[in-house]
A and B are shown apart, each in its own frame.
Chain A
Amino acid sequence: MFHVKLFFHYFMQYLKIRMAYRSDFLVQLATDLLFQAVNLVFILVVFSHTTELSGWTREEVIFIYGYFLVPFSFFSAFFNLWDFNERYIIKGELDRVLTRPAHSLYQVILETMTPESLTGAVTGFMVMGWAVKEMEVDFSWYDPFLFILFVAGGAAIYAGIYILLTSISLYSDSKTDIQPIMYNVGNYGRYPINVYNRVIQLVLTWVIPFAFVGFYPASFLLDKERWMTFALLTPLVGAVWLMLGVAVWNRGIRNYRGAGN
């Protein structure tokens, strides 16, 4: 309960800051929406040239792509840890966080969240909507619930992986370039996995499981015959990775060396 309230208060604070620069905020929101619109057109144009991709119809590929945007936007909104090293380690803001009575990672997440990234989810829904309209899909009554579970699992996988990578800064003060690489790897989860070779498929499933973020659950939602086991594993894989990330973070905090040297 405390954590929920805290989230709410940080969120209000965030809104206040954004509202203080109301015009900036509106401009940014408009930019975001425009960006998403361009993104949408881009997706449709790019995929309109493909008719079929390793046994996947164009509409299916587009649906998977659109689905992926939903967990991804939740991840981007609440795990905006890109400049953690710069801001919290080098500038030393982590010292301040550590003198406050709440979990350090939770505080960092609350301080860095960018809820406007959720506009990506809107695009995702529009893309999925378009694909579904073209396709004739039988959805069952429990699909919305599965959808929520899958999205939570997918966002948790992303979060876990990025928390783990971010924690590296707590152990070593040297800069790493892993995050942008991981960002690119993450994009592989947006496409049907069997277009890749065997090794990449295994990696995306068992090593850095981005396939669970987009592909497995989305293709399962389209057709219950496919990838059922993998799809249903999504929440579990998410929980495991999130716990792993948090555990590595907690260990890392014990190694933290303090600001200003």
Chain B
Amino acid sequence: MRSIEARGLTKEFKVYQSRSGLTGAFRDLFNRQYRTIRAVNGIDLTIEPGEIVGYIGENGAGKSTTIKMLTGILEPTGGCLRVNGYDPHREREEFVRTIGVVFGQRSQLWWDIAVKESFRLLKKLYRLSGEGYRQHLDRLVEVLEIGPFLDQPVRKLSLGQRMRCELAAALLHQPRLLFLDEPTIGLDVLVKENIRRFLKQVNAEYGTTILLTTHDLSDIEALCSRVVMLDKGNIIYDGDLERLRTQWGDGRRLILELKEEVPSFVLNEKTRGLSVKWEGEGTRYTARLEKGTTVSDVLSRLVPAVAVQELKIEEATTEDIVRRIYREGAAHA
């Protein structure tokens, strides 16, 4: 059985517009005007058990709306959808036992009660029992290092602490499929690292299928073998990350500060034959590396000739890539 199978999955929202003034309000009563937004526009998506898939796209592309349909929160406007073999919205109560959900922007735990009480309630809700549950919980607590604040209410936790508790809560019932909507938003690098490592481990150990949305390309790099990119409700790319990067990414950017001014033709001259685009002038330059050119390729040519004061390597972010795709159009995706 496939983890996710969607055909022509569509979600439309009616957005009501109110007319101004008293007579407007009165007319609104009987005949409200609305505009239809197609947040998700007939997407096809198939995900096999055990995959880790990154779901990316600009703000407003429709990622969260898709996740909400896949988790049974929203009823699709159109299309066919099976997740873990269920119709998520129609068979919601049965279905949600087979999935775990984490929303980075919103807590899935009860705000006022201690984390461990939240876990206890979840245990009852999911009808978990006995020894197996205890062991699994102990394991989660240990790996996520949440032991020290199990007695605190969620509202008193820092974002990073909360996120780790959310992960544990989402996995208590050992779901086959885990949805994460921006799980790393606002977290510092160390916590991000920690969470990525954990997700990888869960995937390897239990074969849990994972679908996550993120704005941080390094999340995707660390985790996902496959990326699905959404633009205005349409899937414009579905494949591995490497191909996306070579096809769309600016590649890396090498930012240089030189000891003394060097005209740009000198740099072009030195790196002839490599796929590098130079920008800048005087002592400040940015090199955009494309098509497999590495930082060391460039430096080994430059260093003998020019004195480098400082250098910085920058990754293209998902935002950069997405923005570039918008700029150049989705046509050749």
Contacts and interface: CB of A to CB of B under 8 A. Distances in A.
A100 B125 contact: yes
Given A95-B68, A99-B108, A254-B89, A13 B113 contact: yes
A16 B113 contact: yes
A2 interface: yes
B233 to A, nearest CB: 15
A101 interface: yes
B250 interface: no
Nearest to A107: B125
Nearest to A259: B106
Nearest to A254: B75
Contact of A257 (B13, B72, B113, B120): B13
A53 interface: no
Given A9-B120, A9-B121, A254-B75, A260 B64 contact: yes
Contacts of A5: 124
A9 B117 CA distance: 10
A144 interface: no
A95 B64 CA distance: 12
A75 to B, nearest CB: 24
A99 B73 contact: yes
Contact of A99 (B96, B110, B120): B96
Contacts of A258: 64-65, 68, 73-74
Contacts of A98: 71-73, 92, 96
B74 A101 contact: no
Interface residues of A, number: 27
A200 B207 CA distance: 64
B121 to A, nearest CB: 6
Interface in A139-174: 174
Nearest to B98: A101
Contacts of A9: 120-121, 124
A96 B117 contact: no
A227 to B, nearest CB: 39
A236 B233 CA distance: 49
A256 interface: yes
B113 A102 contact: no
Contacts of A261: 13
A87 to B, nearest CB: 10
B93 interface: yes
Contacts of A102: 93, 125
B55 interface: no
Specify the main secondary structure of chain B where it touches its partner: mixed
B81 to A, nearest CB: 14
Contact of A101 (B93, B105, B117, B120): B93
Chain B interface size range: 20 to 34
Contacts of A256: 73-75
A101 B122 CA distance: 10
A34 interface: no
B133 interface: no
A101 B16 CA distance: 32
A229 to B, nearest CB: 39
Interface string B104-138: 01111010110001001110111100000000000
A92 B127 CA distance: 25
Interface string B75-100: 10000000000000100111011010
Contact of B112 (A10, A17, A99): A17
A259 B87 CA distance: 21
Contacts of B16: 174
A29 interface: no
Interface in A228-261: 254-261
Contacts of A103: 93
A144 to B, nearest CB: 33
A13 B117 contact: yes
A255 B103 CA distance: 21
Contacts of A17: 112-113
Contacts of B89: 254
A10 B112 CA distance: 13
A2 B125 CA distance: 9
A175 to B, nearest CB: 13
A260 B181 CA distance: 13
A92 B73 CA distance: 11
A6 interface: yes
Interface in A84-105: 92, 95-96, 98-103
Interface of B: 13, 16, 64-65, 68, 71-75, 89, 92-94, 96-97, 99, 101, 103, 105-108, 110, 112-113, 117, 120-122, 124-127
18 contacts: A5-B124, A13-B113, A92-B106, A95-B68, A95-B103, A95-B106, A98-B73, A100-B125, A101-B94, A174-B16, A255-B75, A256-B73, A256-B74, A256-B75, A258-B73, A259-B106, A260-B105, A261-B13
Interface of A: 2, 5-6, 9-10, 13, 16-17, 92, 95-96, 98-103, 111, 174, 254-261
